């Protein structure tokens, strides 16, 4: 029996085919080769076309099947991981009405802030664990307010993973985890928030059937099975937002465990058994993959929008003929602190850790005589790492105190400078694991299809590659981090 995990990311779609019995990856690939475009027609806007996501999903499946590394007909279940918070809206014929307003789009922040005030800050936080802020509910309200002709045609409101699942099965479902990341879910009443719907004048019929994350979300349609060369009995048995899924892929499911990732955005994600919320709304709380009313598992999430996207910006605009490995090598040739050059990676929309302010990305203390490509490359990695440590301090203030952090050995964690900077500045070790989002989604499919007897049974074989611990550079790194933090306080 084979399992397939599909990770619908911002930059690409990644797929892993896994042997269910051994939990070994048989084949993995991604599509397209170049990163998917983020459409930004106005400052703070960020959109992608859901139909293009689906095109990429089909292409990556066909590409993987063509390798003949496995028999596609033996894939019995698919798990889907997806970029969180994106708004997908369909008409009565289940056609996409407009491009998805994705996670890093800032346009609806004011709408969410107004709802927060109108509905009562304390009441909203107690019930929803978050301000509506810039999340999916506010994005839908923006469409209602600014594109009324489109809004009138809406029959179905989905998250990105719901849409991809629908394209496989022709069935519309969602999850509590998805609704919570959209700030639609009332944790106190264990239902879609009537107060929020009434305030925004949303009809509850817009939302599809609610299922568990680990559950049968539909059987593949015969036409799609034929087109993709898959079994007609294949089912979608798992779907989760990328950060809850990343945590699952790292074995982070119980209170006190902490996961991190540094792809397009950077995230630190800790698990709590309490309905925790941040009164200042700098970190956010969502239903984790194994959440239920009886077994509360809340993921407390700190997000930095400008992480890998800053590294990509640096490479594309200043080092277009170089690889990321080259940039890492340049960074290694500079000293800790990049000879005084400081980078602040906040150029990808409103940042939640600053109460949805747009403070912009910047370099400070640039010296044309002292700073060359080595210092620029290192300052970017240090700036991103310091922003992660700053976010970790916010999690500490919310009661999530890390002893160890788990990360997949991928994206920016491939850089030893990046990992060691976080570890030395925070004095918290990082465990690097052989796992990624697509692999986690495949394991999720195995849990959801009942091949694995429990969540723990599904994740008990994830391989630890190494552990990065504080070293002799700790004090120097901490001192430079404090200087960086002082500069940041001026910018806010």
Q: What is the pLDDT of residues 24-58, one digit of tens each?
A: 999 999 999 988 999 999 999 999 999 999 999 99
Rounded average pLDDT over 425-437:
96
Q: pLDDT, tens digit, for every residue of 462-480?
A: 999 999 999 999 999 999 9
Q: Is the dihedral of CA 312, 314, 316, 317 positive or negative?
A: positive
pLDDT in tens, 358-385: 899 999 999 999 999 999 999 999 999 9
Question: Does position 112 have pLDDT exceeding 90, yes or no?
Answer: yes
- pTM score, two decimals? 0.91
pLDDT tens sequence across 176-227:
999 999 999 999 999 999 999 999 999 999 999 999 999 999 999 999 999 9
As a whole number, the mean pLDDT across the chain is: 96
Alpha helix ranges (H) inside 132-267 = 136-146, 148-151, 160-169, 176-181, 194-200, 222-228, 242-249
Structure tokens at 471: 């070293």
Given pLDDT bands bounded at 50, 70 and 90, which one contains residue 342?
Answer: very high
The count of other CB atoms within 10 Å of the CB of residue 17 is 24
Share of the chain above pLDDT 90, in %: 92
- Model confidence at 175, pLDDT cuts 50, 70, 90, reads very high
Rounded-to-integer distance, Cα 294 and Cα 455, Å: 16
Domains of the chain, each with CATH number or no CATH: 2-250 (3.30.420.40), 266-434+462-491 (3.30.420.40)
pLDDT digit string, tens, across residues 133-142: 999 999 999 9
Res 197: pLDDT: 98
Q: Which residue has the tokens 């051994």?
A: 22
Q: 23, 461 in Cβ contact below 8 A?
A: yes
User: What is the per-residue pLDDT for 264?
Assistant: 83
């Amino acid at each position: 029996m084979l399992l397939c995990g599909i990770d619908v990311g911002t930059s690409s779609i990644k797929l892993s085919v896994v042997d269910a019995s051994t939990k070994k990856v048989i084949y993995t690939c991604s599509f397209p080769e170049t990163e998917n475009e983020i459409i930004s027609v106005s400052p703070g806007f960020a959109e992608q076309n859901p139909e293009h996501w689906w095109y990429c999903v089909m292409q990556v499946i066909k590409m993987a099947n063509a390798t003949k590394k496995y028999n596609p007909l033996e894939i019995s279940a698919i798990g889907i991981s997806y970029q969180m918070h994106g708004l997908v809206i369909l008409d009565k014929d289940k056609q996409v009405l407009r491009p998805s307003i994705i996670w890093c789009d800032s346009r609806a922040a004011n709408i969410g802030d107004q709802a927060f005030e109108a509905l009562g800050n304390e009441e909203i936080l107690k019930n929803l664990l978050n301000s509506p802020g810039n999340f999916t509910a506010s994005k839908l309200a923006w469409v209602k307010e600014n594109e009324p002709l489109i809004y009138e045609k809406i029959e179905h409101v989905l998250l990105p993973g719901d849409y991809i699942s629908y394209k496989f099965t022709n069935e519309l479902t969602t999850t509590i985890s998805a609704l919570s990341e959209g700030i639609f879910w009332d944790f106190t009443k264990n239902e879609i928030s009537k107060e929020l719907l009434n305030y925004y004048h949303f009809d509850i019929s817009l939302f599809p059937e609610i299922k568990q994350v680990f559950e049968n979300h539909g059987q593949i349609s015969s036409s799609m099975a034929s087109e993709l060369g898959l079994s007609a009995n294949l089912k979608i048995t798992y779907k989760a937002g990328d950060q809850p899924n990343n945590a699952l892929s790292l074995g982070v499911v119980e209170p006190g465990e902490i996961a991190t990732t540094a792809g397009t955005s950077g995230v630190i994600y800790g698990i709590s058994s309490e309905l925790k919320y941040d009164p200042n709304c700098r970190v956010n709380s969502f239903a984790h993959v194994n959440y239920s009313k009886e077994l509360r598992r809340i993921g407390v999430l700190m997000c930095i929008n400008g992480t890998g996207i800053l590294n990509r910006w640096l490479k594309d605009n200043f080092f277009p003929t170089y690889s990321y490995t080259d940039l890492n090598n340049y960074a290694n040739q500079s000293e800790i602190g990049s000879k005084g050059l400081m980078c602040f990676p906040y150029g990808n929309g409103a940042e939640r850790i600053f109460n949805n302010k747009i403070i912009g990305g910047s370099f400070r203390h640039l010296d044309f005589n002292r700073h060359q490509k080595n210092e620029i490359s290192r300052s970017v990695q240090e700036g991103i790492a310091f922003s992660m440590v700053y976010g970790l301090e916010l999690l500490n203030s919310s009661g999530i105190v890390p002893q160890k952090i788990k990360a997949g050995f991928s994206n920016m964690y491939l850089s030893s400078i990046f990992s060691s900077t976080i570890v030395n500045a925070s004095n918290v070790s990082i465990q690097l694991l052989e796992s990624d989002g697509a692999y986690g989604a495949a394991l999720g499919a195995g849990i959801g299809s009942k091949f694995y007897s429990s969540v723990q049974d599904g994740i008990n074989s994830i391989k630890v590659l190494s552990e990065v611990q504080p070293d002799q550079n700790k004090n120097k790194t901490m001192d430079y981090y404090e200087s960086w933090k002082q500069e940041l306080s001026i910018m806010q």
